[in-house]
Structure 1
């Protein structure tokens, strides 16, 4: 991850009496241990109230705090700051922060969950967010694409169930060309069907499923093909 951003966040916390000790945190003034989640809930919002920093610096510091704590709540405060009365945050900084972490070898669990549960489920932000983290790079999703881009694409696809079909279809069509993305694409299609806010076009989804090279015993594969096939048939019959 971004080592300098982490160091900046560690120093910023220490200036406020929150010190990293071994594998945990301590409030040096109260003399009590803290979990990473407690630190996130207490201090992530304060980053955006630090008037000594401009919005770009606040955003970088928040991402450093995310790397340091690895806690989903930090992504919530980033979203609150972007969508709130003082927002938006600088879009290039916000989405570059997401893209970099989606490309890293380390599993960005908090970032991926944030995309799925917050940005993608919200119809006001799903299209813009998806395009920022993947859609704008569809033409680069080709055989021989850089490993970092493939990692990012896979993580976004797996979380993309709630994204409107017309927004994500080009990325889905591009992902079929890369066998390394067949697994994440399947997860995206599965979520497109099962998620409460999932969005799936049956005929197009069936065409994609038929092109995926996946283990025959993959859990849910046969069922999804069957259900989507029935939906595609019903859709065709109703036209």
Structure 2
């Protein structure tokens, strides 16, 4: 007479749970919501998760070494989020690790100035406007970064646009840049941070922060534009300027 082996349902559930927990990953394919986000847009990178024992190690643009989540979620992309993201996935009960990577190509916003501008001409609210007769681009050794200079007749303001010195001596890419409150940069600032200033009657004026500068190229030559940009001097005097400068 055969005897049936009775296994309680609770044990079946436990065995099933153990099998699931011990599932070893043999491959991985990262899933990305947007591989080419524009600055300000969100993106998420997700690694498939087989069980609660799965462990994830991330590396890339940012401090992800101790992030054991199976996701990287960026709610508002910065240009510094651009780069390769690497993930290593393993299981605490397995001797295997699988890998995958993905490149996130963050783009600068491509916007046009919201005002009507005349090329190589800058108008200001309470100082003389200037027709620029010389617009040059080069490496500024004092501030260790790429700069665009615009000047006109003697006695009129001479404008200087300084790009983030941590970008290196490279040609700025097209897009929308944000002004900073100082002439110098630090390593934490973004690629598209920029300083705009000018000297008039021996008074130094510098842009206020969080204003827009628009960069494009015309026939391969850099062009910078700004609308109603507010500048302040050390004496608390302010002026508002709009202009466009194209390298000659």
Q: Which has the higher strand share?
A: 2
Q: Which has the higher helix share?
A: 1
TM-score normalised by the chain length of structure 1:
0.24
The structure whose RCO (Cα within 8 Å, separation 6+) is larger is 2
- Computing the radius of gyration from Cα coordinates, the structure with the larger value is 2
